[in-house]
C-alpha cells in the first residue's frame, strides 16, 4: 500500500523532542482554558480504554484520548481503511452520567449504572454510549468534559478566536516543527477561510520573517497573528474616542456610552467597564481603557446586541398563564419526519433542554398492555409511554423552572388509559397538578410563578372542573366526543368521522385541570359557553384564516383562554409554518416541529431568547387589555402604534466557518441579509453585496433603514449566506431576537448554525439605532 501517505519514522531523540513539544502545546491550551494542572484534564489527555456500547451483543473496547488542542477527542476504530475518528467539544450537546440515554437504558444492566455515561451530540449524530472500568473513571471523564465545555463557553470572543486561530496554525504545521513555511502559511490562510493571492501571501511572510530564515517561528508567528487579527474598523472607532494621550479615560468611555451606544450611563458604569475588561494593570490603575480592553468590551455581553438585562428572567411572571407566549413543540417524540422517522425519549430531552414548555404525547395501545407513543398509522418507531414520562420528569426543569404542559393525543383503550394515569401520577408525583390551586373554584389561570416546577395535563375531560370540588364521580369510564385535532386530522392518519366518540377513563380525565380540550365552534360560542380552562386546538390553515378574517376577535378570545396551533398533517417532512402571525393575534401555544431546523425555528428560538430563555414571554399590554381594538392586519391608532426607524450599518464579520471543509480551496463569498418579521406592515428584508473569497474578515460598511410600526411584535433576523450565482445561497450562520431586546450602538452579533448551536469564533459587527420616527 505504498500509495498511502505515511509520516517518515522519527528517531528516538526526535520522538522525545516531539512528545515534549506536544506536552507544551497541551500545557498552553490548558492554561488558556483556565485548567492548568487540572487532574481531570490530565486524565483525559492521558487517555483511557472504554467500552463502546451499540446493542446487547455489540460492546467493544476502544481507546479514547483528548488531543493536545484540549478540544478534540480521538478514538480508535476497527474499520479497515478508516482513519481513527475524532469529534470536538463543539460537537457535544451534553454529557450524561449514568444510564441516561436510550441505548444505555436498553443494553446495560442497572448494576453498572455508576460506570456508564453518554456523550450526546448536536444535530442528528448518534449518541456515544460508554462504560468505564469503574465509577471513579466514569466520574472523571464526565467532570473533565464538562469542565472543558463550561470553560470554553466562558472564554471571551477574543480568547475563543485566539484558541481557534492558534490551533488552525498547528494543523497547518505539517511536519510539527513549530515553524511555518510560506507553503504552510498559504495552507493555513485557506484553512481559516481567506483566499489571498501569492504576491500578498509572500508580502506578509517577508514582513514577518525578520530573521530571513525562510520560515516563521516564535515572535515572528506572534507578529503574523497580530497582523492577521488587526481590526481596522475597531482601530478607527477607538481612535475617535481615545482622547487622553492615545487612550480612553473614564470620561472618554462615558462619552462613548452616552453618544455612540445611546445608553443611560454614569461615571460609575464607565469605571465598572474599565475594571471588568481592561487587560493592562497600569491602565486600569489610571482608570483608562486601552485598545485591547476596548476590544474585550465589544466582544463580551456588554457589547452584545442582546440587552444583558434580558438574559435573566426580567418580566412579570405573576400574571395568568394565558398572558404569555409559551414555547411549544409538535410531534415531540419524533427525531425526523412523521412517516418513517424514529420516535425517541431523546427528542423530548432535546426539546425540554431548549426550554420547550409544552410537549406532545401521541398515545396508542401497545403490546403487553403497555401504552406507546408514536405517529399513528405510520412507520415511525414506537417508544414506551412510561419511558417518555420518566425522561420528562428528569429533564423538564433543568433549563427553566416554569410549568410544562403535557399535551395528550389519546387513542388508547380504557385499560391502557388507566395505566397512563398511573404512570403520570406515580412518576411525576407532587409535581403533577391533580386539582385546582386553592380551596375554591378558580375563575382564571394561575401564573407561571405559582406553577413553578409543576406539570399540567392537556386532554379530554368528562365533566366540568367544579366536579373536582364535589368528589361525586363514581363511574370508571364514560364517552366523550373526539372533536379535537384527531378528528379533523390530516396528520398522515386516517381521518375519523367528526362526531366519533371515545371511551375515557375517569382516572385520566380527573387529572386534566387547567387545559381541557374542547372543539372550537366560533368566537361567539366560545365566549358564551367555554370556561377559561377549556381550550381549543387549531390546525394551521384554520388558525391563519381566523387571524386574517377576525384578528381582533381572536386576540380577545386569547385574553382569557388558551389556544394551541399545530402544523398541517400534509407536512409529512415535518416542516414548519411561520409562527409570527399566530403570536400577532395572541395565540399562546404555537407548536412547531422542534426536530426540523428551519427559518421558522430560528424565529421561535429568537422569540424565546430573552427573559432568561425560560420558555415564557409576557404578551404586550395591548394583547391583554379587554379595551384593546388592536388588529395586526389593519393598523389603527392605539398604544400598539409606536413608530420607530431602525437604522442598521453592517460593518464586518469575523471568522466565518468554511462550509465545505473537505475542499481546501473552497472559500465562502459572504453576504448579510437582515429580515424583519412582525405585523404585515413591518415585514421586510434587505441585503448587502457579497464579498469574494473572504470568510475571515469581510467588510461591508453598508447602511439600511427599516420603518417599524409595532415594535413590541417585531423580530429581527440576521442571516449570513455564501453567495452562489447558479443555485440557492448556502446558510453560513444566523441570529434572531426581538427588536425590544436590541441594544443601540456598536454591537457584536453572535452567529448560530442552522440547528441553533453557537458557532464559537464567528460573529458580525454592526452599528444599530432604534429611534422614534418623525
The set of catalytic residues is 330, 375
- Yes or no: say if 132 and 114 are a contact pair by the CB < 8 Å rule: no
Q: Is 198 known to sit in a ligand binding site? A: no
Q: At 609, list the grid cell.
A: 431568547
Q: Which of 231, 226, 191 is nearest to 656 (CA)?
A: 191
The C-alpha R_g of the chain, in whole angstroms, comes to: 29
Q: Is 63 known to sit in a ligand binding site? A: yes
Q: Is 7 known to sit in a ligand binding site? A: no
Distance (Å, whole) CA 213 – CA 182: 11
Q: Is 56 known to sit in a ligand binding site? A: yes
What DSSP assignment string belongs to 420-451?
Answer: HHHHHHHHHGGGB--S-SSSS--SSPPPTTTT
Q: Is 669 known to sit in a ligand binding site? A: yes
Q: Is 542 known to sit in a ligand binding site? A: no
Q: At 304, list the grid cell.
A: 452584545
Looking up cell 443611560, which residue turns up?
Answer: 264
Q: Which of 534, 108, 613, 141 is nearest to 356 (CA)?
A: 613
Q: Is 62 known to sit in a ligand binding site? A: yes
Q: Which helix (H) or strand (E) holds 715?
A: strand 715-722
Q: Which long-range contacts (CB under 8 A, 24 or more apart) does 434-442 make?
A: 434/510, 434/511, 434/513, 435/468, 435/513, 436/465, 436/468, 436/469, 436/513, 436/514, 440/469, 441/465, 441/466, 441/469, 442/532, 442/533
Q: Is 78 known to sit in a ligand binding site? A: yes
Distance (Å, whole) CA 459 – CA 375: 17
Label residue 664 exposed, middle or buried (CB < 10 Å: 0-12, 13-18, 19+): exposed
DSSP secondary structure code for residue 497 in this structure: P
Q: Is 158 known to sit in a ligand binding site? A: no
Q: At 66, list the grid cell.
A: 483528548
Q: Is 440 known to sit in a ligand binding site? A: no
HSE-up of 85 (CA within 13 Å, CB side)?
A: 11
Sequence-distant (6+) residues with CB within 8 A of 206 are none
Q: Which of 591, 600, 418 is nearest to 507 (CA)?
A: 418
Q: Is 74 known to sit in a ligand binding site? A: yes
Q: Which helix (H) or strand (E) holds 606?
A: helix 599-607
Q: Which of 344, 504, 355, 492 is nearest to 415 (CA)?
A: 504
Q: Which of 186, 188, 170, 168 is nearest to 178 (CA)?
A: 170
Q: At 292, list the grid cell.
A: 485591547
Q: Is 71 known to sit in a ligand binding site? A: yes
Q: Is 75 known to sit in a ligand binding site? A: yes
Q: Is 539 known to sit in a ligand binding site? A: no
Q: Is 728 known to sit in a ligand binding site? A: no
SS3 at position 746: strand
Q: Is 724 known to sit in a ligand binding site? A: yes
Q: Is 241 known to sit in a ligand binding site? A: no
Tell me how crowded residue 737 is: count the other CB atoms within 10 A of its CB.
22
Q: Is 693 known to sit in a ligand binding site? A: yes
Distance (Å, whole) CA 513 – CA 203: 73
Q: Is 107 known to sit in a ligand binding site? A: no
SS3 at position 706: strand
Q: Is 360 known to sit in a ligand binding site? A: yes
Q: Is 460 known to sit in a ligand binding site? A: yes
Q: Is 491 known to sit in a ligand binding site? A: no
Q: Is 52 known to sit in a ligand binding site? A: yes
Q: Is 64 known to sit in a ligand binding site? A: yes
Q: Is 58 known to sit in a ligand binding site? A: yes
Q: Is 331 known to sit in a ligand binding site? A: yes
Residues of each annotated binding site for substrate: 52-79, 458, 460, 537, 564
Binding positions for Ca(2+) are 331, 360, 362, 409, 667, 669, 693, 722-724
What are the binding residues?
52-79, 331, 360, 362, 409, 458, 460, 537, 564, 667, 669, 693, 722-724
Amino acid at each position: 500500500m505504498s500509495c498511502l501517505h505515511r509520516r517518515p519514522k522519527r528517531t528516538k531523540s526526535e520522538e522525545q523532542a516531539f512528545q515534549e513539544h506536544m506536552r507544551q502545546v497541551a500545557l498552553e491550551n490548558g492554561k488558556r482554558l483556565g485548567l492548568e494542572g487540572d487532574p481531570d484534564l490530565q486524565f483525559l489527555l492521558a487517555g483511557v480504554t472504554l467500552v463502546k456500547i451499540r446493542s446487547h451483543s455489540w460492546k467493544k473496547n476502544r481507546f479514547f484520548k483528548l488531543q493536545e488542542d484540549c478540544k478534540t477527542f480521538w478514538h480508535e476504530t476497527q474499520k479497515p481503511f478508516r482513519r481513527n475518528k475524532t469529534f470536538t467539544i463543539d460537537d457535544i450537546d451534553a454529557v450524561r452520567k449514568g444510564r441516561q440515554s436510550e441505548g444505555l437504558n436498553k443494553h446495560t444492566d442497572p448494576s453498572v449504572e455508576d460506570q456508564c455515561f453518554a456523550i450526546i451530540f448536536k444535530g442528528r449524530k448518534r449518541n456515544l454510549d460508554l462504560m468505564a472500568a469503574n465509577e471513579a473513571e466514569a466520574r472523571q471523564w464526565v467532570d473533565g468534559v464538562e469542565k472543558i465545555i463550561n470553560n470554553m463557553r466562558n472564554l471571551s470572543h477574543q480568547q475563543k478566536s485566539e484558541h481557534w486561530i492558534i490551533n488552525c496554525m498547528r494543523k497547518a504545521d505539517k511536519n510539527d516543527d513549530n515553524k511555518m513555511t510560506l507553503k504552510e502559511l498559504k495552507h493555513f490562510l485557506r484553512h481559516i477561510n481567506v483566499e489571498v493571492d501569492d504576491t500578498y501571501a509572500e508580502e506578509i511572510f517577508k514582513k514577518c520573517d525578520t530573521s530571513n530564515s525562510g520560515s516563521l517561528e516564535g515572535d515572528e508567528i506572534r507578529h503574523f497573528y497580530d497582523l492577521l487579527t488587526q481590526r481596522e474598523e475597531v482601530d478607527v472607532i477607538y481612535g475617535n474616542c481615545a482622547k487622553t494621550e492615545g487612550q480612553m479615560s473614564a470620561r472618554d468611555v462615558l462619552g462613548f456610552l452616552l453618544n455612540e451606544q445611546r445608553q443611560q450611563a454614569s461615571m460609575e458604569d464607565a469605571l465598572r467597564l474599565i475594571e471588568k475588561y481592561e487587560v493592562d494593570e497600569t491602565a486600569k490603575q489610571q482608570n483608562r481603557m486601552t485598545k485591547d480592553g476596548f476590544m474585550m468590551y465589544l466582544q463580551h455581553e456588554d457589547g452584545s446586541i442582546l440587552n444583558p438585562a434580558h438574559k435573566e428572567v426580567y418580566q412579570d411572571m405573576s400574571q395568568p398563564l394565558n398572558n404569555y407566549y409559551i414555547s411549544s413543540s409538535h410531534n415531540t417524540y419524533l427525531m425526523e419526519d412523521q412517516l418513517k422517522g424514529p420516535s425517541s425519549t431523546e427528542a423530548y430531552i432535546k426539546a425540554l433542554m431548549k426550554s420547550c414548555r409544552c410537549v406532545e404525547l401521541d398515545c396508542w395501545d401497545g403490546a403487553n398492555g403497555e401504552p406507546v407513543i408514536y405517529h399513528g398509522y405510520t412507520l415511525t418507531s414506537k417508544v414506551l409511554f412510561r419511558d417518555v414520562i420518566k425522561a420528562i420528569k428528569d429533564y423538564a426543569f433543568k433549563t427553566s423552572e416554569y410549568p410544562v404542559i403535557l399535551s395528550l393525543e389519546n387513542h388508547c383503550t380504557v385499560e391502557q388509559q388507566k395505566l397512563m394515569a398511573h404512570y403520570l401520577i406515580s412518576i411525576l408525583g407532587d409535581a403533577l397538578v391533580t386539582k385546582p390551586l386553592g380551596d375554591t373554584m378558580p375563575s382564571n389561570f394561575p401564573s407561571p410563578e405559582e406553577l413553578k416546577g409543576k406539570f399540567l395535563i392537556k386532554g379530554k375531560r368528562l365533566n366540568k372542573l367544579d366536579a373536582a370540588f364535589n368528589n361525586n364521580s363514581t363511574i370508571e369510564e364514560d364517552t366523550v366526543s373526539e372533536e379535537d385535532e384527531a378528528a379533523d386530522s390530516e396528520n398522515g392518519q386516517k381521518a375519523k368521522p367528526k362526531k366519533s366518540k371515545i371511551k375515557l377513563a375517569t382516572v385520566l380525565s380527573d387529572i386534566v385541570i387547567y387545559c381541557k380540550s374542547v372543539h372550537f365552534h366560533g368566537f361567539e360560542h366560545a365566549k358564551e359557553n367555554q370556561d377559561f380552562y377549556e381550550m381549543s386546538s387549531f390546525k394551521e390553515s384554520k388558525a391563519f384564516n381566523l387571524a386574517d378574517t377576525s384578528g381582533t376577535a381572536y386576540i380577545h378570545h386569547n385574553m382569557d383562554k388558551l389556544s394551541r396551533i399545530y402544523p398541517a398533517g400534509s407536512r409529512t417532512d415535518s416542516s414548519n409554518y411561520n409562527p409570527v402571525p399566530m403570536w400577532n393575534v395572541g395565540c399562546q401555544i404555537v407548536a412547531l416541529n422542534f426536530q426540523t431546523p428551519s427559518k421558522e425555528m430560528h424565529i421561535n428560538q429568537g422569540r424565546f431568547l430573552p427573559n432568561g430563555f425560560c420558555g415564557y414571554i409576557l404578551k404586550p399590554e395591548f394583547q391583554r387589555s379587554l379595551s384593546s381594538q388592536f388588529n395586526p392586519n389593519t393598523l389603527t391608532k392605539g398604544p400598539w402604534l409606536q413608530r420607530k426607524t431602525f437604522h442598521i450599518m453592517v460593518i464586518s464579520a469575523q471568522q466565518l466557518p468554511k462550509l465545505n471543509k473537505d475542499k481546501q480551496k473552497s472559500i465562502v463569498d459572504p453576504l448579510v441579509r437582515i429580515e424583519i418579521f412582525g405585523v404585515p406592515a413591518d415585514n421586510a428584508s434587505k441585503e448587502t453585496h457579497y464579498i469574494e473569497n473572504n470568510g475571515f474578515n469581510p467588510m461591508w460598511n453598508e447602511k439600511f433603514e427599516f420603518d417599524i410600526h409595532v415594535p413590541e411584535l417585531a423580530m429581527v433576523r440576521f442571516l449570513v449566506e455564501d453567495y452562489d450565482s447558479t443555485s440557492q445561497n448556502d446558510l453560513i450562520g444566523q441570529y434572531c431576537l426581538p427588536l425590544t431586546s436590541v441594544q443601540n450602538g456598536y454591537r457584536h452579533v453572535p452567529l448560530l448554525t442552522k440547528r441553533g448551536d453557537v458557532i464559537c469564533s464567528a460573529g458580525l459587527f454592526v452599528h444599530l439605532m432604534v429611534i422614534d420616527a418623525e
